[in-house]
A and B are shown apart, each in its own frame.
Chain A
Amino acid sequence: MANWIPLWLHKLGSPPIFYRFAGLLRPWMLAFAVLLGAVALYGGLVLAPPDYQQSDAYRIIFIHVPSAWMSLFIYGVMAIASFIALVWRIKLAEVVAMESAPIGAAFTFITLVTGSLWGKPMWGTWWTWDARLTSELVLLFLYLGVIGLYHSFEDRRQGARAAAFLAIIGIINVPIVHFSVNWWNTLHQGSTIRILGPSKMSGDMLWPLLTMMAATKFYYLASLFGRARVDLLAMESGKDWVRKIAEDEAAP
Chain B
Amino acid sequence: MSQPSLASACTAVLRRDLTLAWRRRGDIAMPVLYALIVTTLFPFALGPEDALLQRIAGGVVLVTVLLAMLLALDAMFRSDIEDGSLEQLVLAPQPLALMLGMKILAHWLGTALPLMVAAPLLAGMLHLPTAVMPVLLLALLLATPLLSLLGAVLVALTAGTRRSGMLLALMLLPLCVPVVIFAAGAVAAAQQGLPWLAPIAWLGAALALALVLAPLACAAALRIALDA
Interface residues of A (CB under 8 A from B): 86, 134, 138, 141-142, 144-145, 148-149, 152-155, 158-159, 161-162, 165-166, 169-170, 173, 176-177, 179-181, 183-184, 187
Contacts and interface: CB of A to CB of B under 8 A. Distances in A.
Given A145-B167, A145-B170, A165 B177 contact: no
A158 B174 contact: no
Interface of B: 153-154, 157-158, 160-162, 164, 167, 170-171, 173-175, 177-178, 181-182, 185, 188-189, 199, 217, 220-221, 224-225, 227-228
Given A155-B228, A183-B185, 18 more contacts: A134-B177, A144-B170, A145-B171, A148-B170, A148-B171, A149-B167, A152-B161, A152-B162, A152-B164, A158-B228, A161-B224, A162-B157, A162-B160, A165-B217, A169-B175, A173-B175, A176-B178, A177-B178
A177 B177 contact: yes
Contacts of B161: 149, 152-153, 159
Contacts, number: 82
A142 B158 CA distance: 15
A145 B166 CA distance: 10
A149 B164 CA distance: 10
A169 B171 CA distance: 10
Nearest to B198: A183
B146 to A, nearest CB: 12
Given A158-B227, A180-B177, A166 B157 contact: yes
Contacts of B217: 165, 169
B171 to A, nearest CB: 4
B188 A187 contact: yes
Contacts of A179: 178
5 contacts: A142-B174, A149-B158, A162-B225, A165-B220, A176-B178
B221 A165 contact: yes
A85 B171 CA distance: 20
Given A162-B221, A165-B220, A165-B224, A152 B158 contact: yes
Contacts of B175: 169, 173
A181 B181 contact: yes
Nearest to B194: A187
B174 A141 contact: yes
Nearest to A139: B174
Given A142-B174, A149-B171, A152-B158, A180 B224 contact: no
